[in-house]
Structure 1
Amino acid sequence: MYPYGITTVFFLCKPTGGSFTENDETIASGYFALDDLPELSEDKGSKKQVEMCFKAYHNPNWQAEFE
């Protein structure tokens, strides 16, 4: 079976409380500067995607991107 029509969506969120709990998909959580990212699992997301999120966050006129 092959995946077709995969969609990736990024959301800007603000923490409101609670704490991280290790789970089946993620073993740790943290905040990182763009130039201090840990090694990424490239099958889940890329540095290019993270860079795009930083650009969007710092640009109040950012427009959604579609491929």
Structure 2
Amino acid sequence: TIDVPSLFIGGKSDWGTYSAPGALDLMKAKAATRMGEIELIDGAGHWIQQEQPVQLGELLLAFMKETSVA
């Protein structure tokens, strides 16, 4: 298992997120014991860092603050 604070961020338009129905929920329930929310960003596909950099940055900073990494 992944036993450190973790977060899944993806684009709502990324087909890979939906290619295996239920996979994200299974990852949150079984693979990552300390996983936060599953964040899917509007207006982004696979390249969220290029398509929605501001929103991605905000999510990453909030996650780091919540987990005392920053």
TM-score by length of 2: 0.27
Larger radius of gyration: 1
Higher helix share: 2
Asked which structure has the greater RCO (Cα within 8 Å, sep 6+), the reply is: 2
Higher strand share: 2
